[in-house]
Amino acid sequence: MYLVQLLLPLYDNDRRPFSREHFDEVRHKLTEHFGGVTAYLRSPAVGLWKENDQDVSRDDVVMFEVMSEKLDESWWAQYREELEKTFRQDEVLVRAITVRKL
């Protein structure tokens, strides 16, 4: 079993918020494809990273999670590219974790 997590930014690079419809579309697509989704939208996380030795970039992000028996890496790669276009990002983080249901 896999837990797949997507981290999506709340704002574009000019700090303009993405519309609620963007996130609703993600929730709908993941629910249709996987039969369910968990979305952490009310408590954004703060992501920080160094662009170089002096500049630190910041993103306010929300997380979507799905559970899946199989990991279809080609589907996820294609969907990640779609999300990068929709959210105007150089990279959207999609990660998979092997889990065991207890």
Residue type, 41: L
Question: Cα-Cα-Cα-Cα dihedral of 37, 38, 43, 46, to 10°?
Answer: -70
When pLDDT is cut at 50, 70 and 90, the band that residue 65 belongs to is very high
Say if domain 2-98 classifies as CATH 3.30.70.120.
yes
pLDDT digits (tens, 9 = 90+) for 2-53: 999 999 999 887 888 999 999 999 999 999 999 999 988 776 666 555 667 7
Task: Note the pTM of the prediction, 2 decimals.
Answer: 0.82
* Each residue's pLDDT tens digit, 73-93: 999 999 999 999 999 998 999
Determine the 3-state secondary structure of 24 from DSSP: helix
In this prediction, residue 74 carries a pLDDT of: 95
Our measurement of the distance from residue 10's CA atom to the centroid of its chain's CA atoms, rounded to an integer in Å, reads 10
Nearest to 92 by CA among 62, 52, 72: 62
